[in-house]
């Protein structure tokens, strides 16, 4: 489960950086890197979204700060 958590975390960071770049400079880094492979680009967006849902659902169990009583 640790590997899944780390992969989800990395994908959420990638998504956050991409949104930040888009908001600051109107630059979509994922599109820039994978525009020649639209299937891969779309799959990456799907994985980023699923990772966010996974982290939101498991956050209370994994977070040392939030799970303290």
pLDDT tens by residue, the chain, 69 residues = 788 989 999 999 999 999 999 999 999 999 999 989 999 999 999 999 999 999 999 888 877 777 665
* CA 24 centroid distance within chain: 18
Q: Which two tokens mark 59?
A: 């956050």
Burial of 29 (0-12, 13-18, 19+ CB in 10 A): middle
Q: What is the pTM of this model?
A: 0.81
């Amino acid at each position: 489960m640790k590997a899944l958590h780390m992969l989800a975390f990395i994908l959420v960071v990638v998504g956050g950086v991409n949104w930040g770049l888009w908001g600051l400079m109107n630059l979509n880094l994922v599109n820039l890197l994978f525009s020649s492979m639209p299937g891969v680009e779309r799959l990456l967006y799907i994985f980023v979204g699923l990772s966010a849902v996974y982290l939101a659902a498991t956050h209370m169990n994994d977070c040392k700060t939030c799970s303290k009583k």
